[in-house]
A and B are shown apart, each in its own frame.
Chain A
Amino acid sequence: MEKTKTWETDDGAVQFIFTYEIGTSSCSEVKVVIFSPAEPDNRKELTLHGESKPVSIGFKMKSGTGIEGDLSLKSMSDVNCVRCVWGEFTYYVNNHAEQIYEGCMIEVSTGGHRPPSPPTPPDPDPIAPPNPYRCEPSPTVYLDNQASAEDDLFPYVYMRFWPKLDDGVLLLNYVQYPLVDSASSDAFIKELEKYSASGDADARLKMLALAQSYIEGDDPYQGLYLQNIDSLPGVMPQFPALLEYVRHDLDITIDKLNLYIKNKLGLTPDQLKTFLSSDEFDSAVQQVWASYFSLVIIMGYDATNLVVLSKELQACHLLLQCYVSDDQEQEPVTTSEIQQLAHARILLPNTIFPLPPVPPKEEVERPHKGAIEPYAIGDLQMLRQRFSHYQLGDIAHIENIMAGEKRLVRSKVLSQQAQETAQEEVEEDFSGTVTEYQEKKQLHELRRSIAERTVTDDYKDLKTTYGQPTEATISGTVIHTTKAGEKPEGRDKIKFARDILDKSVREISSQVKSYRSINAFDENERAHQSEFDNTANSRNRVGIYRWLNRVYSAYVVNYGTRLMIEFIVNNPAERFIEMERSQFGIELVRPLTLQQKGITNYSDITESNYLELSVYYKVKEVSTYPQKKIVVSVSLYGGEKVIQSIPEGYQVTAVTMESTVAKINGDDSYVLAGAHKIKTGETVTGLDKFGEENTLSIVAPMPGFSSPALDDSSTLPLDNSYAVSITISCEPSAEVITNWQIATYNALAEGYSREIKQYYRLADEYEGKYQRSPQVNRGIERKVLKQDCMRLLLKRHVDDVGLITNEADKEDKQPSQFYVNQPRYLQFFEEAYEWREMSYSFYSGINSLQSGIFNYTSGSAQADPLFKNFLEADVARILVPVRPDKAMAAIYYLASGVIWFGDERYVAVNPDDAALAYEYKKARLLTDHDAPVVGESWDVTVPTTMQIIDQDSSSIKDLEGHS
């Protein structure tokens, strides 16, 4: 939108009209029209551009009114592009009364942003500040650039996706099998297609074996593999050179190509067309294809020959398109088309490629779950920043000094940090102090020494007499003889003493070392003293401290076109959490509550679960489940009765009686137990029948007490006595079980309480020791995600190729082919992907709340919400750009699981990737390499903790504005 402002001189003799655009993204120019109201048609028009040099406005009118001088634009503020039109001119009316004008005429605000100008150093202000200080942020840049180091902030990518290709594009950009329609397929290729379509589990292995036998010339493929293209018919051996010629001549035309063919190949276009249409050429092309396919399948067999065959096929494609066309009316091939044809990549046929994957073996551990796909082709742009300058921020602190006041301010900050970990390590064979150890060792050695020597005392004329009175007569001498003991002497006592001493020294020195290594003490003291002396002044004084802001200049740099690969990783933090636990050796898992373990009250404690629970809560003082059954037996003679005591807490559930006689008084022998009559060999069971606690009364009837049949000597002993044995079975009462459950429940509850306290203590220790900065957390995230992506890439290889292990290798216990190749693949991933530019995002579902490292109570997770996202994420989505020189190899790998060995320019394209590869190639051509910086830079202000005395008040001034 256009805006107009007018201005006139003091006497109105000369008028100015200023016109400029507002609402533009940058500071626009200002158009100026100068005229005199006396002569409105006589105008001078000029344009002011940015902050360029002043524009001269020399202008004289017929009436004698004139103006001489300059106009320019001066910046007032970067924001909204506020500038002023600055005039320095002299004007006059009727050739006299010259007037001079200098200064800003109008303010111009166009709403755009002005590129940042270099900061100007502060000028000493000779003017004493007239007014009391006004609190207002100063936009003035007054500190020099001290550094201009550039830092990458973060990348971002403008994405574009690829549409499906039409036939015309495919024809120009890809060499498609079979090139020649009329040719009969090669037997080798037919065999490959047959295997590929078979769907057999071992199809891939068969194809590999077939390709190997083709290359090696096994029957029936003797001599078919092209080791040298010189054996090709006609001018075909010269095709690769022709291709190179076309590629290097960017102005190639069909006429130039004709000339080259005539000079180098000795053929006219018609002759070449005839050759290209011949059966000989067709079969030769088939042979080239077959050799090419065999080398692609056995990747790495002969990379040089692979390139030569690629060129041969590309040249054949070029010539066929240029000289043999179905459409007779077709227009001559253009330079652009010839170049496209010359750079066309080989598109592998979908009847063979990618090779069928090897079916997974159950016993093989598949690395990680997730997904990996080419995501988009994007312009990788990096946001960068460069330190620009410092800027005054808001007021941080104001120091007021009254008139006549003298103040001394001392501030002292002392921070101390002490860390001490006492650790006692006791060896198993030594559980005391060093002195004790020494004594024990000495005693042991002495015993051994004594055992090695025998001392004999030989007395001569030794007589003793015992009795009343006791006398003892000792005369002669006593001879002590030392003899060798049973064990050979040879122990060196000095050595023993030295050993003891060494041991003691070792013990002491090792303890000292231990304490030295774990004591740490940091002390930091900062003292600051300020003295304000206003005694000599009769006015109040004010000192203003301002925060200091760092100002960065931010801008976007285009890194060029990149293929972006998208990785989806499940549970990205899972491995990290495991690693953390094992690394720090702490099992920081919050113990489950009793409720979470299914124990809502004491009645849930059962014989089957109490042991598992006591182990989980590490409870030792739990008592075992009450014995299920107690058997008490008692013997009685006839006529006896007994009140049998029952174990406390138990109830009688069954009573069995056996008797020495079958009958008593003619009846079957019996006893009375409780209220029941129990016969010989009978067992009465049931809690309802007994249930006695504490005691059970048992009576054995007296013989002849109730029976008249005393003559039955066969059943009664001669002394009329008999004996019975009663077995009483008891089971614990419900009260006992309940008491046990309550006691166990209480023990488990105490155990849980101990465990949860231990958990919090360890968690606190962990937080204190291992709290990390957000930067470190970002590093961890990137490292873990990169490893996950590498695993996914390796998975692609394993899925497609399988973990091939030869039988011979198995016998020799050799590592599998996969493990041998793994470093090579990892190196390829390192080189092909720009891991530094990785960008990622985390997604978490409801399940994530139950997982986690420390239940996220505090620590790193709370201090760094981004890291919490990582820890809780169910899925991570990672975008990684591929290096431009490895893009086609990366695409090939993702489709086939095999690294392409050889020149990037000759990487073949799998059928499903044709559109992607073409779009990438197109995007690369469009990339503007000369303009890495995108758009204009802008300033970013970052507050710091630094303070500075406001320059305007560097000498503290009084409230009235007098210094």
Chain B
Amino acid sequence: MGVKLNFINLTNDANNSKFVIFQKNVATDFDELAVAWRVIQNCGQGDYHPFVFPMSMEVGASDSWGNYMPEQAAENGDMFQVVKDTSGDVLHLASEKGAPKEVQLRNDLNKGAINASIYKDKKLLATKTNIAPSQKAVFQFKPTIWIGAVSQVEEGEVMNSAIISDVNTEISLLGIASADLVATGGGPGSNSVPFKFTLENVKMV
């Protein structure tokens, strides 16, 4: 089950702006860059773009040899590990559990760093690179999304810090079953106001 969202473009924008939606990984010690999870583009005035923010997520990994391991469904509290078996490097669920609100991926290879990725709806949500052997990537997400009007952003790509700092609207999805995500503002001329994103027609669970 996910949160049904319906992005409605009621802005005055005439620049064919893109709207990016992403989540921030809470469990990070340093300012890790976020990934543009979903980019809504070519959405004209009055258009709407329905999508679902799923509660489920997948975890994936790639090793230093350039091998990508198939994504596996993950839930909070799961601990994954990348190990080397007879066929090569593989990703699987570890026997021990992780922290209740986190998804963890541990590099159990003897040699070689890995990259860990989290996907939602088959789209990259967050990533952590260069995880050395015996280290682990920790992913923890608040039930909020960030949304903003940006340019030069590609879906699934890491956004640079300048872009991230431009996105300043945090929308909480806690307890919401469905809602309209309405974008207003923007536009040319002296009457232009900042883009604003609000929730409307909210239906609680």
Chain A residues close to B by CB (< 8 Å): 10, 74-77, 84, 87-88, 97-107, 123, 125-131, 134, 140
Distance between Cα atoms of A88 and B170 in the complex (Å) = 10
Q: Mark B45-60, 1 if CB is under 8 A from A, else 0.
A: 0001011101000000
Q: Are A104 and B176 in contact (CB under 8 A)?
A: yes
Distance between Cα atoms of A103 and B173 in the complex (Å) = 6
Q: Are A104 and B175 in contact (CB under 8 A)?
A: yes
Distance between Cα atoms of A29 and B178 in the complex (Å) = 26
- Which of A74, A100, A123, A128 is in CB contact (< 8 Å) with B204? A74
Q: Are B171 and A102 in contact (CB under 8 A)?
A: yes
Distance between Cα atoms of A617 and B172 in the complex (Å) = 87
Q: Are A100 and B197 in contact (CB under 8 A)?
A: yes
Q: Mark B162-199, 1 if CB is under 8 A from A, else 0.
A: 00010011111111101000000000000000001111
* Sample (28) of A-B pairs whose CB atoms are under 8 Å apart: A10-B24, A74-B204, A87-B172, A88-B198, A97-B168, A99-B168, A99-B170, A101-B170, A101-B172, A102-B169, A103-B144, A103-B170, A103-B171, A103-B172, A103-B173, A103-B174, A103-B199, A105-B174, A107-B175, A123-B203, A125-B4, A126-B50, A127-B4, A127-B50, A130-B51, A130-B54, A131-B1, A131-B2
B167 to chain A, nearest CB (A): 10
Please give, as numbers and ranges, the residues of chain B lying within 8 Å of A125 by CB-CB distance.
4, 178
Please give, as numbers and ranges, the residues of chain B lying within 8 Å of A128 by CB-CB distance.
50
Size class of the contact patch on chain B:
20 to 34
Kindly list the 7 A-B residue pairs having the minimum CB-CB distance in the complex, ordered from nearest: A103-B172, A104-B174, A130-B52, A127-B50, A100-B169, A76-B204, A104-B175
Is B130 in contact with chain A by the CB < 8 A criterion?
A: no
Most A Cβ at <10 Å: residue of B48, B174, B178, B199: B174
B121 nearest in chain A by CB position: A130
Is B95 in contact with chain A by the CB < 8 A criterion?
A: no
Please give, as numbers and ranges, the residues of chain A lying within 8 Å of B205 by CB-CB distance.
76-77
Distance between Cα atoms of A126 and B5 in the complex (Å) = 10
Is B6 in contact with chain A by the CB < 8 A criterion?
A: yes
Q: Are B170 and A100 in contact (CB under 8 A)?
A: yes
Is B110 in contact with chain A by the CB < 8 A criterion?
A: no
Is B201 in contact with chain A by the CB < 8 A criterion?
A: yes
Q: Are A105 and B204 in contact (CB under 8 A)?
A: no
Please give, as numbers and ranges, the residues of chain A lying within 8 Å of B24 by CB-CB distance.
10
> Mostly helix, strand, loop or mixed at chain A's interface?
strand
Distance between Cα atoms of A437 and B202 in the complex (Å) = 90
Distance between Cα atoms of A128 and B199 in the complex (Å) = 18
Q: Are A84 and B168 in contact (CB under 8 A)?
A: no
| Known A76-B204, A100-B170, A127-B6; contact A134-B1, beta-carbon cutoff 8 A | yes
| Known A126-B48, A134-B1; contact A105-B168, beta-carbon cutoff 8 A | no
Please give, as numbers and ranges, the residues of chain B lying within 8 Å of A140 by CB-CB distance.
203
Please give, as numbers and ranges, the residues of chain B lying within 8 Å of A10 by CB-CB distance.
24, 142, 144, 170
- Which of B4, B168, B172 is in CB contact (< 8 Å) with A130? B4
Please give, as numbers and ranges, the residues of chain A lying within 8 Å of B173 by CB-CB distance.
103-104
A126 to chain B, nearest CB (A): 6
Please give, as numbers and ranges, the residues of chain B lying within 8 Å of A107 by CB-CB distance.
174-175
Please give, as numbers and ranges, the residues of chain B lying within 8 Å of A102 by CB-CB distance.
169-172, 197-199
| Known A126-B6, A127-B4, A127-B6; contact A98-B168, beta-carbon cutoff 8 A | yes
Interface residues of B in 6-43 (CB under 8 A from A): 6, 24
12 new A-B contacts at CB < 8 Å, known A102-B172, A104-B176: A10-B24, A10-B142, A76-B205, A84-B174, A97-B165, A97-B168, A100-B170, A103-B176, A103-B199, A104-B175, A105-B174, A134-B1
Distance between Cα atoms of A100 and B1 in the complex (Å) = 27
A872 to chain B, nearest CB (A): 52
Please give, as numbers and ranges, the residues of chain B lying within 8 Å of A130 by CB-CB distance.
2, 4, 51-52, 54
> Mostly helix, strand, loop or mixed at chain B's interface?
strand
A69 to chain B, nearest CB (A): 12
A90 nearest in chain B by CB position: B168
Please give, as numbers and ranges, the residues of chain B lying within 8 Å of A103 by CB-CB distance.
144, 170-174, 176, 199
Distance between Cα atoms of A76 and B177 in the complex (Å) = 10
Please give, as numbers and ranges, the residues of chain A lying within 8 Å of B50 by CB-CB distance.
126-128
Distance between Cα atoms of A97 and B48 in the complex (Å) = 29
Please give, as numbers and ranges, the residues of chain A lying within 8 Å of B2 by CB-CB distance.
130-131
B202 to chain A, nearest CB (A): 8
A848 to chain B, nearest CB (A): 55
Most B Cβ at <10 Å: residue of A76, A106, A134: A76
Distance between Cα atoms of A76 and B174 in the complex (Å) = 11
Please give, as numbers and ranges, the residues of chain A lying within 8 Å of B142 by CB-CB distance.
10
Most B Cβ at <10 Å: residue of A76, A107, A127: A127
Distance between Cα atoms of A103 and B171 in the complex (Å) = 6
A88 nearest in chain B by CB position: B198
A43 to chain B, nearest CB (A): 23
Most B Cβ at <10 Å: residue of A75, A100, A130, A140: A100
B53 nearest in chain A by CB position: A130
Please give, as numbers and ranges, the residues of chain A lying within 8 Å of B196 by CB-CB distance.
100
Distance between Cα atoms of A100 and B175 in the complex (Å) = 19
Please give, as numbers and ranges, the residues of chain B lying within 8 Å of A76 by CB-CB distance.
175, 204-205
Distance between Cα atoms of A75 and B204 in the complex (Å) = 8
Please give, as numbers and ranges, the residues of chain A lying within 8 Å of B48 by CB-CB distance.
126
Most B Cβ at <10 Å: residue of A88, A103, A126, A128: A103
Q: Mark B68-79, 1 if CB is under 8 A from A, else 0.
A: 000000000000
Q: Are B170 and A105 in contact (CB under 8 A)?
A: no
Please give, as numbers and ranges, the residues of chain A lying within 8 Å of B175 by CB-CB distance.
74, 76, 84, 104, 107
Q: Are B201 and A123 in contact (CB under 8 A)?
A: yes
A9 nearest in chain B by CB position: B170
Please give, as numbers and ranges, the residues of chain A lying within 8 Å of B51 by CB-CB distance.
130
Distance between Cα atoms of A102 and B1 in the complex (Å) = 22
Please give, as numbers and ranges, the residues of chain A lying within 8 Å of B198 by CB-CB distance.
88, 102
Distance between Cα atoms of A10 and B1 in the complex (Å) = 25
B155 to chain A, nearest CB (A): 18
Distance between Cα atoms of A45 and B162 in the complex (Å) = 36
A958 to chain B, nearest CB (A): 16
Please give, as numbers and ranges, the residues of chain B lying within 8 Å of A129 by CB-CB distance.
4
| Known A76-B204, A84-B204, A123-B201; contact A104-B172, beta-carbon cutoff 8 A | yes
B205 to chain A, nearest CB (A): 6
Please give, as numbers and ranges, the residues of chain A lying within 8 Å of B168 by CB-CB distance.
97-100
B8 nearest in chain A by CB position: A126
Distance between Cα atoms of A127 and B204 in the complex (Å) = 16
A134 nearest in chain B by CB position: B1
A88 to chain B, nearest CB (A): 8
B28 to chain A, nearest CB (A): 12
Please give, as numbers and ranges, the residues of chain A lying within 8 Å of B178 by CB-CB distance.
125, 127
Please give, as numbers and ranges, the residues of chain A lying within 8 Å of B171 by CB-CB distance.
101-103
Distance between Cα atoms of A543 and B196 in the complex (Å) = 39
B202 nearest in chain A by CB position: A74
Please give, as numbers and ranges, the residues of chain A lying within 8 Å of B197 by CB-CB distance.
100, 102
B140 to chain A, nearest CB (A): 13
A128 nearest in chain B by CB position: B50
Q: Are A131 and B199 in contact (CB under 8 A)?
A: no
B113 to chain A, nearest CB (A): 29
A105 nearest in chain B by CB position: B172
A116 to chain B, nearest CB (A): 16
B177 nearest in chain A by CB position: A140
Distance between Cα atoms of A105 and B171 in the complex (Å) = 10
Distance between Cα atoms of A570 and B54 in the complex (Å) = 69
Q: Mark B120-139, 1 if CB is under 8 A from A, else 0.
A: 00000000000000000000
Please give, as numbers and ranges, the residues of chain B lying within 8 Å of A77 by CB-CB distance.
204-205
A225 to chain B, nearest CB (A): 81
A7 to chain B, nearest CB (A): 10
Please give, as numbers and ranges, the residues of chain B lying within 8 Å of A123 by CB-CB distance.
201, 203
B1 nearest in chain A by CB position: A134
A136 nearest in chain B by CB position: B1
Please give, as numbers and ranges, the residues of chain A lying within 8 Å of B203 by CB-CB distance.
123, 140
Please give, as numbers and ranges, the residues of chain A lying within 8 Å of B4 by CB-CB distance.
125, 127, 129-130
B143 to chain A, nearest CB (A): 8
Distance between Cα atoms of A328 and B143 in the complex (Å) = 83
Please give, as numbers and ranges, the residues of chain B lying within 8 Å of A101 by CB-CB distance.
144, 169-172
